[in-house]
A and B are shown apart, each in its own frame.
Chain A
Amino acid sequence: MSRKTFEQVVQELRGKPILVANRGIPARRICRSIRESFDAIPVMTATDIDKTAPAASAAQELLLLGENPRAYLDLDRIVRLAKQRGIVAIHPGWGFASEDESFPRICKEAGMIFIGAEEEPMRLLGNKVQVRALAKTLDIPVVPGSDGAVDVPKAREIAAKIGFPVMLKAEGGGGGRGIFEVHSEAGLEDAFFKASTMAQASFGNPRVYVEKFLTNVRHIEIQVIADKYGNVFAFDERDCSLQRNNQKLIEITPSPWKGLTPELRETLKGYARKLVLAVGYHSVATVEFLVTAEGTPYLIEVNTRLQVEHGITECRYGIDLVEEQIAIAFGSGLRFTEQNTRPLQHAMQVRINCEDPQKGFSPNSGLVSRYVSPGGLGVRIDSNLSAGYEFPSNYDSAGALLITYAHDWTKTLGIMERALGEYTVGGIKTTIPFYRQVLKYPLFRQGECDTRFIAAHPDLMDYPDVARESERTARLIADISALGYNRFVKLGEYRTSTTPRMPKFEPVLPPIPNAVRDESSPYPRGDRKALLSYVRDSGFVHFTDTTTRDNTQSNSGNRFRLAEDLLVTPYLDNCNFFSLETGGGAHFHVNLMANMTSPFVEAREMNRVAPKTMKQILVRSTNVLGYRPQPRNVMQATAEKICEEFHVIRSFDFLNHIENMKPFAEVVLHNKGVIFEPSLSLTYGRGFTVEHYLGVTEEILRQTAQILGSDLHEASRNIILGLKDMAGNCPPHFMRELVTALRNKWPELVLHHHRHYTDGLFVPAVAEAAKAGAHIIDTSMGAAMRWYGQGEILSTAAYLEELGLKTNLNKNMLRECNFVLKQIMPYYDRYTAPYFQGIDYDVVSHGMPGGATSSSQQGALNQGYIHLLPQMLRFLAGLRQIVHYHDVTPGSQITWNTAFLAVTGAHRRGGTPAVEHLLQVLEHVAHTPENELSKEMKEARLDIYKDCNDAFRGLLLGEYGKLPLGFPPDWVYQSVFGEDWKNAIAKRTEHSPLDSLPDADFDAERAALREHLHRDPSDEELLLYLNHPADALNTFEFRVNYGNPNNLPLDVWFEGLQPGDELNFTDSQEKPHHLSLMSIRKPDENGVSIVRYVLDSEIMSTEVQVTKGGAGGKQNVSKADPDNPYHVGAPSNGDLWVTYVSPGQVVRKGDELFNISIMKQEKAVLAPMDGIVKRVLKTADYSGSKKMVPVREGELLVELGPVPSVCANPACGKPLPADTYTFCPYCGGKAKSDVKE
C-alpha cells in the first residue's frame, strides 16, 4: 500500500459504508467522524435493545444483530454480515472486541480494513507480561515484580525482594479487576489462593503475577498515534488519577499536579514513542504509567485501541483522533507534527454513569424522565441519553461523557461546575451530583489527588440528590392523576381516575378589615400570671377553637392540611379566642404520616399568619406525641421545642397517673411565657366520682407546687386545669357537680372544659360547666363542626348568653371564617369523613372517644364482623365495669382490641351462641358482687380475657403507669395470664414507666438519621425522628421526592388532574409554575403507566405504578416444562433474592443456580446436571440492590443446555459457549487444536 494523503483517503471513502462494531457512546462518537470527515456512510451494529437508542441516531444504517444482547462479541458473525453489506472498514470502538487480536485478521480475511492496529503489534503491546519484557529491553521502568505468573514460593521470594505491600494481579484481568493487595508475609498465601480462585472464576485463567504495591501514585497516560510509515506523535499526558476501584471517573489534560514537570512529560512521551516504534505499531494507543509522589514513573500497560478519554486530548489540541485513525488505516501518512499540532487548551472529562454513588455506585436502569444537556462555551458531550429513553440494564452504565475545556485549569473547572449544574437527568440516578461534590473539593481543584482520593474521602457521598421543587411537585401530580387517588394520604383507593370530580378549588377569601386586624388581642401575652388573672377576672366565658386540631382529628382523620389551615387561621386570629388548638394528639403523627408536613413548621406558619392568638397543643403525658412511653430526655427536648412554638400546653394521662407528666411539667412551668394545662381525664362510670377527681386535682397541684417550690394555693394560681371528657359521656349534672366542687375547693384555679359532641349533650353539658364557673370552653366552627369533635361555637355562645353569661367573641369574623370553611369542607367531607356518622348516645356506655367512635366500628365492618358489632359494643360496656381507666389514647385502643378479640375469638370457636354466652357471663360478672357468684360463673369468667393482646397484658402489669382505681381483681389476671397468673401479679408495678426507661442516645439517633438523609439533620428533624421515626422518615422522603404537598390545590391533592387539564401553582419560594397534563398511558404489563406533561414549557414524563403488575396474572411468565430436564423452575412461590449464574456460564451438577426465600426459609436450587446456562429469565442480587423478585411456583427461571466442547488450551479447559467458537472467550487462546494461525 503506498502512502496516501488525507485528501486521497477522503476521496476514496466518500459514499462508502464504514461499520462501527460497537454500541452506545463509542459507536455514536465514531459515526460522527465517519460522516463529517469523510462523507462516508456510518453504519452501526445494533441488537434489538439498541435499535432505537439515542446513540443509534448517529448512524445512517444499522447492522441488526437480533435479540441476543451479547451479539456484539460474536466477531465472526459481525464480519460475515458486514461483508454481505459491502462494508469497507470496521472500527471496533472501545470495549467489547476492541482489543481482540484476532479482529484485524478476521477483517483482513474478509477483505475489509480494520481501523486499528495489526494483530502482532497489538499482541506485543496489549499483553501485560509481554509489554513488560519489551519495556525492560528498552530501559523503560516497570513496576517491580515478577516477570510472569508465579506460584506461592516464587511470589514469596519476589515479595521479599521488592518489599511489602505487594499486589497479586490476575494475568487475564484488566480494568482494575482481579487485583489483591497483600500487606504482609503472613497474608500472602491466603491472598494468593483467593486471587487465583477469583482469577479462575472471573477470567478462566488462574495465573497471577506479583507487583510492588505503590502508594500515593498518580495514573498518568500518554496518547500516541502512529502511521504505517514510522511516524509517531505523542500527545501531552492525561491525568486519570481520580478512580474508584481502579475504574477511571475523571480525566484531565494536562495534569494539574505540580509534580508533572515538563521534563517528566518529555520522558513519558519518549517512552511511549519508543514502545510504539519498537513493535511497528500503527493507529492510536495509550501508554499508561503510575507516577509516584516523587515523580518516578513506572509503565503499567498499553491500551491498543481508542480510549474513552481520548476526547480531552482532542480538545487540548483541537484535532479529531478518530478521523486521523481512519485515514491511517487506509494508508494516509500522519499529519501531526510538533510544528502544526500544539497544545492550546486545558480539558477535563467526567464520566456520567447511570449509577447511584450513594449505593456503592450500583448501576441502575430505567426510563429517563427528563433530559437537559448543558451547553455554552467550552462544553462537549458524547452521550447515549435522551428524555424518554429506557436506559437498558444489559450493558455498562456509561450514560454520557462530559468534557469542558478552556485556556486554563481554573476556567476549565468553572465551566465544568456550571455544566454539571445545568446537566439534568431525571428518572434514574447518575453520577452527576457526585461530581458536583468532587469539584468542590480543594484537594481536587489543586490537582493534588491520587488514585486513593475517593476511597479516602467517604464524605464525598454526602449530598442530597434532589430535583427542583416544581419538578417534584409535577411528579406528585402525575402520581395522583394516574392512580386517580392520592396514595400518600393513606386512605386507601378512595376513587379512580374516572370517578366524578369535585369542582375546582378556587376559594373566595373575604378581606379582613384593617381596623379588625389592627385591634390587639384582649389576652395578655408572655406573662402567665397576668393572663390567668385576666381570664379569672374578666367576667367572660372564654373559648378555645379546635377546628384545626381536635375537630379535624375526630371528623376528618386529621387530613386537614397546612394549606387549608393557612386559609382559615387569619380569620380565627381575629375572633377573640382565648387560644386556637392547632397541634398535638394524633394530629402530630398523622401530619408526618399523611400530610407530609412537619408539625413544627405548621406551628410556625400558623403563628406567622395568626400572630395575635395563643396556640395550644395537646400532649399525652409520657407518650408525649406518640403511642408509647418516651424516655425522659426525649420528653424534655420535645417540651422545650413545643414551648418555642406554642403558648398553652395541655397534657393528659389516660390513667391520671400524674407523675407521668412530670418531665414535661418541669420544662413548661419553668417557662413563664407558657401556660401549663394538666388535665383530668374524665369519664362517667363506677368509681369515677367527684371525690375521686378532687383527689387527682390535688395530686396535680401537689406536683405543680413541688416544681414551682410553692404551696398548693399558689400552685392553683399558676396553671389551668383541663377537664377532658374525651368520649363525651359525662352528663350535664356531673359536670355541674364537678366544677362546683372544684371551684369551692380551689377558687383561683382556672378551669378549661373540653368535651366531644358524640352523645349529643354538648351544649347542656358545657353550659352547666360554665354556669358552675368553668372559665374556658372548647368549641369548633359551625361550618366544620360534625359528629365526633367539639360542639359549635355560635350556638353554644347564644345559649350561654341566654343563661346570662357573657362572651367576648367577634361574631362577624366567625361568620367570615365559616364562609371560608364552607368552601373547604366539602372536599374533606367527600374523602376523609368517617364511615359511620351522626350522634351515638350509646357512647355513655361504650365510651369510645371522638373519632375512634366511628373508626373502630368501621374496623369491625371492614373486617367482616359487622354482624358482631352490637355484641362488641356491649362487651366494651361490660369491660369498663371490670378494669377501670380512661377512654382515650392509648386506653381506648386497648379496650377496643380486647373487646374485638374476645368477641371474634368466641365467634370463631362457637358462633353467635358462644358470643352471647360470653357476653352474659361478662354482664353477670360485671353486675354481681363477688360473694354472690356461683362456682361455675367464676370458672366461666376466665374466658373473658382469653384472647386479649400484649397491650392489655402490659396495662395489667402496670407498664403504662398506675391504674386509677387500683389493680383489678385476681381473677382478671387468671383469665389474662393463664397458668402464669401468679407470676404476673408478682411482677406488676405502680411505678411510672419513666423510671425504667433509659434515656435515648441522641448522638446515635442523629447518626442513624444522617444515614437516611445523607446530610446533617437539623435539631428539629431529629426531634421529629425521635418521636415518630417511621413517620418522620416518611415526610423527609416524600419531600425529597415530591416537594411540598401544600403546593397543590385541594381538589388536585385528592383527585389529581385529567389529560388536557392545566394548573398554575407556586412553589415554596412563591415562584409561579404552569403544568399541563398531556397524557396518561395505559399501564403496561408490569402495571406501570407513563404520565406525560409539560412543566413550564418543558415536556417531561413520570412512571407510575398503577397496578401490581404480574400478581393478577397479567404478566407473562414462562412455565418450566416438567418434562424438559434443562428447565429449572422456582420450587415454590417466594422471592428470588440471589442468582448465581448468567448466560454462557458452565455449571456442574449440584452447583447452586439461585436461591428463593420464603418466610425465612432459603431454598437453594441446584443444577440438576452439568450444562451451560442458556437463559436466565429473572435475576436478583439482594445484597447489592436490596430488591427481591417475586416468583411463582413452577416459573421458569434458568434454562440449561447440554455441555458444549471445552477449550483446547489445557490451562483453561473451560467449556465453550458454542461449538462455533474459534477462540476461547475465557483465556483468549485457540479454542480448537486444529485451528491454524
Chain B
Amino acid sequence: MSEAPFSSNFLSASLPDKPAASGCFALTEGLGGEAVSFSLEALFGVEALLGPTMPQSDEAAADFFNVPAPVYLCDEVTSTFAVAHALAQKGALPTWGAVLAACQTAGKGQLRRQWQSPRGNLYVTFRLPDNPLFQTSAPALVTGVLLAMALGRLGYPLRLKWPNDLLNRDQAKAAGILLENRGGVLLAGVGVNLRALPDVQQLRRERAAPAGLLLTQYGEPAPLAPFALWQALVREAISTYDQTFANATAEALPDLVEPFLTWRGESVTVSDTDGTLLSGMLEGISPAGGLCLRTSDGRSHELFRGSLARA
C-alpha cells in the first residue's frame, strides 16, 4: 500500500459522529451489507471511482474532494442501496448524501432485476430531500427529470422515457433510476453508463431501449470518472432543485416533465407484466405523474404501470 500524496483530511476514513455536512469517506462494506466499516485501506480501493489522476497536494485535494454533501466511496459492494440504508439507519446519511461504488455484485434494478455493474460506471445511491414533490405518487419521475435537467446543464442532453429511464441522443438507455422507500427514508439509486455497457446477453429481453453510454451533445462519451461526474452532478442537482423543484407542487409536474419526455405525440405501447398491451398516442404526463395515453377507441388512459415502448 502506498501513502496518499495528500493528507487524509480530505478523504476521511472514519465514520463521522454525527451526520456530516459534507466530506468524502472511504469505506468497506461489511458482511451482508448490513454493517459498514471504515478503513484507510479502502482509500486505495476506490481509485476506480476517483479516476487516474489523484491530487498531488493538499491544495489540489481540497478542490478534488470538495462536495456539497457527504459522499461515501466504496470499492465493491453488494449494492449501494444496502450501504445507504445502513448509513441512513446510523443517521449518517443526510439529504443529498451519497454512496458511490466502483462496482456492485448485486446491483439492484427494478423488481429484483439485476443492474449489471461493470467497473467504470457511476453507481450511486443518494438520499432525496423531504419535499412534497417527492411525496407524490411519482417521486421516481421527479427524480428522473431532476437528473435529466442537471445532466443537461452539464452538457449531457438526455430525454426521459417514462417513468424514468434516461435516453441519450441515440435513444439508448444511458441511465436508470430506482427509488426505495424504507421507513420514510427515500433513496434514489442511479446507474449511469460512463464507460462500460452491460452484457447484452443478460439484458431483459422485453427491454424497450438498448443500453448506451452517457454522451455529450456532440455524441462523445463523457470523459469523466464516476466520482467527478457525481461531484458535478450533485452540485447541479442541488441548484436545479433549489431553483425549480423546491417550491413546486404536483400541478407543476406536467410542465416540468413534458419538455424532457420522449415519444410524446407518437404511437407507443405500454405493456403490463400480465402481458396486456395498450397502444395509443402518448399525450403527456398527468399531475399525478401517470402516463397519459389515448387509445384508438378514443379513450384516455392514465397509466401508472407498465413498460413503455415505441409502437
Contact = CB atoms under 8 A, between A and B. Distances in A.
A1186 B266 CA distance: 28
Contacts of A493: 297
Interface string B256-272: 00000011111101000
Contacts of A947: 265
Contacts of A492: 295-299
A950 B262 contact: yes
Interface in B262-286: 262-267, 269, 273-274, 277, 279, 281, 283
Contact of A1159 (B138, B269, B281, B294): B138
Given A897-B266, A949-B263, A1159-B138, A859 B281 contact: yes
Contact of B140 (A1138, A1160, A1183): A1160
B205 interface: yes
Nearest to A897: B265
Interface stretch (B9-17, B54-62, B174-182): B174-182
A900 B183 CA distance: 45
A971 interface: no
Nearest to A1152: B182
18 contacts: A491-B297, A493-B297, A901-B264, A901-B265, A949-B266, A950-B262, A980-B157, A980-B217, A1030-B277, A1030-B309, A1135-B305, A1137-B111, A1157-B110, A1161-B178, A1164-B183, A1166-B182, A1166-B183, A1188-B305
Contact of A1182 (B273, B279, B289): B273
A746 B180 CA distance: 70
Contacts of A490: 279, 296
B181 A1159 contact: no
A1129 interface: no
Interface in A1150-1199: 1150, 1157-1164, 1166, 1182-1183, 1186-1188, 1190
Contacts of A990: none
B7 interface: no
B164 interface: yes
Interface string A40-59: 00000000000000000000
Chain A contact surface mostly: mixed
Given A862-B298, A1011-B205, A1161-B139, A1187 B273 contact: yes
A861 interface: yes
Interface string A829-856: 0000000000000000000000000010
B137 interface: yes
B231 to A, nearest CB: 25
Contacts of B295: 492
Given A492-B296, A1137-B111, A1158 B182 contact: no
B18 interface: no
A1162 B179 contact: yes
Nearest to A557: B296
A1157 B274 CA distance: 15
A339 interface: no
A1134 interface: yes
Contacts of B262: 950
Contacts of A1161: 139-140, 178-181
B111 A1183 contact: yes
Interface string A1126-1156: 0000001111011000000000001000000
Contact of B179 (A861, A983, A1008, A1160): A1160
Interface string A1000-1022: 00000000100100000000000
B163 interface: yes
Interface string B106-128: 00001110000000000000000
A387 interface: no
A1134 B138 CA distance: 11
A1133 B137 CA distance: 9
Contact of B177 (A627, A948, A1160, A1186): A1160
Contacts of A1011: 205
Nearest to B274: A1187
Contact of B294 (A862, A1163, A1164): A862
A983 B141 CA distance: 28
Interface string B291-304: 00011111110001
Nearest to B298: A862
A62 interface: no
A494 to B, nearest CB: 8
A859 B282 CA distance: 12
Interface in A844-881: 855, 858-859, 861-864
A286 B182 CA distance: 50
Contacts of A1095: none
B269 A863 contact: no
Interface in A867-917: 893, 897, 900-901
Contacts, number: 123
- Return the 5 tightest CB-CB contacts between A and B, nearest first: A862-B298, A492-B297, A1161-B179, A949-B265, A1160-B140
A951 interface: yes
Interface of A: 490-493, 627, 855, 858-859, 861-864, 893, 897, 900-901, 947-951, 980, 983, 1008, 1011, 1030, 1132-1135, 1137-1138, 1150, 1157-1164, 1166, 1182-1183, 1186-1188, 1190
A1160 B294 contact: no
Contacts of A950: 159, 262-264, 266
Contacts of B179: 1160-1162
Contacts of A1188: 111, 273-274, 305
A268 to B, nearest CB: 45
Contact of B181 (A855, A951, A1163, A1187): A1163
Given A1135-B305, A1183-B111, A1159 B137 contact: yes
B263 A1157 contact: no
Contact of B265 (A900, A1158, A1159, A1162): A900
Nearest to A902: B265
A949 B264 CA distance: 6
B253 to A, nearest CB: 12
Given A862-B297, A949-B265, A983-B217, A1159 B141 contact: yes
B281 A863 contact: yes
Contact of A1158 (B264, B281, B304): B304
A1159 B140 contact: yes
Given A492-B296, A1164-B180, 12 more contacts: A491-B297, A859-B296, A861-B298, A900-B265, A947-B265, A949-B264, A983-B218, A1166-B182, A1182-B273, A1183-B111, A1183-B112, A1190-B305
A81 B13 CA distance: 67
A490 B267 CA distance: 15
Nearest to A1162: B180
Contacts of A948: 265
B273 A1159 contact: no
A1138 B110 CA distance: 12
A862 B274 contact: no
A1011 to B, nearest CB: 7
A1159 B179 CA distance: 9
B297 A1160 contact: no
A1159 B300 contact: no
Contact of B300 (A863, A1030, A1135): A863
A1163 B135 CA distance: 12
Contacts of B279: 490
A168 B21 CA distance: 48
Contact of A1164 (B141, B163, B182, B267): B182
Nearest to A197: B32
A1134 B140 CA distance: 13
Interface string B152-165: 00000101000110
Contact of A1160 (B178, B265, B267, B300): B178
A557 to B, nearest CB: 9
A1186 B110 CA distance: 12
